[in-house]
Amino acid sequence: MGAEELTAEFGIAGILDFIETQHGMVKAVTSLDGMTGELYLQGAQVTAWQPPDERPVLFTSANSAFAPERAIRGGVPIVFPWFGASRHTPTAPQHGFARTATWHLDGVETTGSGSLTLTLSLDDGDVGSPFWPDRFRAIYSVTFGQTLSLRLAVQNPAMHSILFEDALHSYFAISDVAEIAISGLAGATYIDKADAARRKVQTANLVTITAETDRVYLDTSGQCVIEDRGWRRRIVVGKDGSASSVVWNPWAEKAAAMVDLGEDAWRGMGCVETGNIADNEVRLAADAEHQMSTAISIAAAR
């Protein structure tokens, strides 16, 4: 559906609008009680969320191509059905196909408490990936409000179990990478992707970023909190149905090679992702559903 048809079916005057960009992509733009948000139908990707009287919470790179079938750098890409390079097919696209597929908008709902929920879906018929033989149906609910709540449900309509990884790859806007510390991961084992995938243990209470950081923390089902001293705020990343957490910042050298990021942008972004990855991949029985959700909110600095 194009922007005009979407506006006719789902638009809410002054609250929800659909816009076609210069590259022919369609995005939903919402504004409600001082909160603003934005979501591209490609990838069902939330690219902006800003509660009233707050700075933007998500980082989205202005240098992104914002072009069809190109991954958007920032916001919350959906990683599915594999994380990183596919372990089975090295030529498959990094982080799966869900982030570059166009999702269907199935419904919009407002609630009395100043929030708006968009429900989107994607199934194997929309994707037809040569790298993924299985059937699936994914349903994604995005609630823009005082909290940004994201829930990804994956259903297995097949007669046999399926195996997948997933992640809500949230990019956060931060004052400066040197000013943040992440709590919630102490004692966890992580796969250090910046050091030949060695397994290490998080001994320090807080994760700080002082070099390229690319870690998959295993068996971490609790919330993470980003303490940002520069902006005197905490970003609380609550989650459910997720056993892995990823912390990623490319640092200067890698960032310089990423045309969609821009030279200095890496200092103002940090990814803390909610997922089920590697040892924590999901085995979903026939006819079953798996849900993973994250609730992102802002709290004052301690």
Where on the chain is the footprint of ligand BG6 (CB under 6 A)? 71, 84, 94-95, 169, 193, 214, 246, 248, 273
Nearer to ligand BG6, 84 or 270 (CB): 84
Nearer to ligand BG6, 27 or 169 (CB): 169
| Beta-bridge mates of residue 36 | 31, 50
Asked whether the beta carbons of 197 and 215 are under 8 A apart, the reply is no
CA-to-CA distance for 177 and 251, rounded, in angstroms?
A: 9
Strands laid side by side in the 45-50 sheet: 16-20, 26-32, 35-40, 45-50
The least CB distance from residue 135 to ligand BG6, in Å, is: 25
Nearer to ligand BG6, 57 or 167 (CB): 167
Q: How many helices (H) and strands (E) does the chain have?
A: 3, 22
Asked whether the beta carbons of 63 and 259 are under 8 A apart, the reply is yes
Which element (helix H / strand E) includes 34? none
The amino acid at residue 201 is: V
The least CB distance from residue 246 to ligand BG6, in Å, is: 5
The least CB distance from residue 271 to ligand BG6, in Å, is: 6
Three-state SS at 110: strand
Nearer to ligand BG6, 6 or 246 (CB): 246
The least CB distance from residue 144 to ligand BG6, in Å, is: 23
Nearer to ligand BG6, 21 or 94 (CB): 94
Nearer to ligand BG6, 38 or 165 (CB): 165
Kind of pairing, strands 282-284 and 45-50? unpaired
Cα separations in angstroms, 12 against 74, 89, 108, 121:
26, 44, 9, 21
Q: Which residue has the tokens 């958007």?
A: 72
The least CB distance from residue 270 to ligand BG6, in Å, is: 12
The least CB distance from residue 115 to ligand BG6, in Å, is: 28
